[in-house]
Structure formats: C-alpha cells, structure tokens
Amino acid sequence: MTPARRVILDTDPGIDDALAILLAVASPEVELAAVTVTGGNCPLDQGVRNALGVLETVRSAVPVVPGVALPLIRPPFTAPETHGNSGLGNAQLPPPTTPPAQDHAVDLLVREIMTAREPVTLVAVGPLTNVALAIRRQPQIVERVHQVIVMGGAIDVPGNTTPLAEFNVYVDPHAAHIVLHSGLPLTLLPWDITSQVLLTQAHVDALLTIASPVTRLIADATSFYIDFHREYFGYAGCSINDPIALALVFQPELAHYAEVFVDVEIDSPKSIGKTIADAQGLWKRSPNVRLVTGFDAHAFLELFTARMAALAREHPARS
Ligand code: BDR
Ligand code: CA
C-alpha cells in the first residue's frame, strides 16, 4: 500500500466540516497532521470546541490549532441557520477535555509545509483566511505544498449565501482572492458539484443500526442539516460538501477536472464573493485552478458511509 499522505485540514466546524474530520480519521490513506480552525460557520472559539469534540468522539489525539477569527476585511458572517447555534446541528457533545494546541494555524501551516520531508496536502473547507495569511507570511509555501484542495465557489450555479456567492468565498472574498492569485497548486471543488451530493435520512438510518457515539453524532448533526436543506433548497438530503474535498486526496478519480482561470469579485457590493471561471480563455490568463467539473456522487456516498460504518464499529457505544 502507498504510504499515507500527510494532510492538514483547515476548517470552520460546521456539520460537514465535522464529517470531513471523521472521514480523515477513518481513512488509512490520510495521515492527519492537524485540524486548523478559522471563524466561519460559527465563531472561532466554538469551531475549535467542535473540532476537539469530534476528535474526542473517536479518541483521536490529532492537534486542533486555532487560527484567525475574523475575515481579512469584511465583518464576520456566521451560519447558525445552516449549522445550528453550536455549529453541529442537534448534536450535544460533552465539553472537550483536551485543550487546543498552543500554536497558531498560520504558524502551523507555514511550519508543516516548509519542513515536511514529503510534501504536505492542504484541504481547506472553510473561509480561506488562514491560508491567505500563511501565503503572506511565507510565500515559499506555494512551491513547497503538494496540493491544496479547496471547497468553495459557485461557478455556473446560483450561490448558497447570496444569489451569486458560495459561503466560504463570500465570508472572506479577499482571502480567496489572495489564494486564487498565489500560484498555489489548487484543486477547486465548487458548490456546483457538492450541492448534487446528498446524504439522505436513509443513509443515516442505515448507519444508526450500529450503536456508537460516531453514528449518534452523525445522526444528530445531520438531522438539523437535512431539515435546513429541505426548507431552503427543497433537497431530499443534505449536501455534505467538505468530506468530498477530503476524499479527493486519495480518490482523485472520483472527479473530472478542467484547467481554467478562476477569479473572484471583491469590489461590487451585490456580487462580492462571486467566483468566475473564464472557460473560454477570454481574459488570456493561464489556468490557476484544476476545477472539479464532474463527480461520481454514488461512489463517494458508498465510500463515505462505509468508512463511517467502520469507524462506528471501532467505537461501539458503551453499554
Ligand atoms: C461550505 O459552506 C459551509 O457552510 C460548509 O461547511 C461548506 O464548507 C459550503 O458552501
Ligand atoms: Ca466548512
């Protein structure tokens, strides 16, 4: 078996961020170096507590590293209607007993990427504030990182936060601008794709046949998320965006890609955070992202639910 890929997961936990953390822990192809956190779905401190709580549920000692609380320029924007007041829907995790790392996400990103023997992969599933500041702090990370997989942007579909913008990019469009113009080896997984990948109540019910704090967490978190998606989008399930980005680390063949130039609007109040792909090359710019343009949702959902079931069996409910 090929050695596990060292991964840093940059998050704003968040229900689907929590699912991405669980998938990373459940996947032998991934060596999770750290979970870094930024403000986004919920304020930074709450996101840090959520990441710690999720990792404690699976008795993982992966460090949780707090990062930047606020977007670079814009005021903070959280998503309690999507993720609940706690950020984890209806899940009620005990207060974490592990403290967050005495470190800063930006320092960790720079240190890990610059000193790793094998190039590190960064999976960024929240607003891009930590990543943008890491680039500013040490521009050489752009050449040193193996790959950066970003969940964000709405290219050819309406946004999920404004009519034009997807949440992660909308919250910190200036950070997204720095990242898109940095030269990082980017794979961009947009809302166009993730909004079509629905975890349904039937998937959750099948997982619930395994009595485990893992399945309890998934069920309680996603019940809120499923209700939200039904009410706001009329979906029969919830789009679990963030674990898809994680899965692309070790199953890139789940997706089809196109090399294109993508930019983000940062000036206009109505369209701020809109991501634009120049599919026809009219701007005469070299491609800056490998854009996910197609995805095998069925294969991913099989993988995801199988990995969650295996993780749950490893952590049975205490009788
Ligand atoms: C993204 O926004 C957040 O609410 C989710 O966690 C995901 O990262 C989807 O637009
Ligand atoms: Ca997220």
The atom number, within ligand 1, closest to the CA of 239 reads 9
Question: Which CATH architecture fits 6-314?
Answer: Alpha-Beta Complex (3.90)
Torsion angle of C-alpha atoms 118, 124, 125, 130, degrees rounded to 10: 130
CB-ligand 1 contact for 191 (6 Å cutoff): yes
CB-ligand 1 contact for 82 (6 Å cutoff): yes
In the block, which residue shows the tokens 């240190």? 111
The atom number, within ligand 1, closest to the CA of 41 reads 4
How does pLDDT run across 276-315, given as a tens digit for each residue? 999 999 999 999 999 999 999 999 999 999 999 999 999 9
The atom number, within ligand 1, closest to the CA of 125 reads 8
Q: Are 40 and 67 in contact (CB under 8 A)?
A: no
The per-residue pLDDT for 124 is 99
Q: Over the chain, what is the mean pLDDT? A: 97
CA-wise closest residue to 164 among 140, 142, 191, 184: 191
The atom number, within ligand 1, closest to the CA of 14 reads 6
Q: Could you tell me the pTM of the whole model?
A: 0.98
How does pLDDT run across 158-167, given as a tens digit for each residue? 999 999 999 9
How does pLDDT run across 2-56, given as a tens digit for each residue? 889 999 999 999 999 999 999 999 999 999 999 999 999 999 999 999 999 999 9
CB-ligand 1 contact for 27 (6 Å cutoff): no
**SS3 of 294, please?**
strand
Question: Ligand 2 centroid to 127 CA: how many Å?
Answer: 7
The per-residue pLDDT for 311 is 98
Question: Ligand 1 centroid to 219 CA: how many Å?
Answer: 18
CB-ligand 1 contact for 38 (6 Å cutoff): no
The values of phi and psi at residue 211, to 5°, are -80, 110
**Distance between CA 256 and CA 182 in Å, rounded?**
23
**CA dist list (Å): 78 to 36, 41, 127:** 17, 5, 11
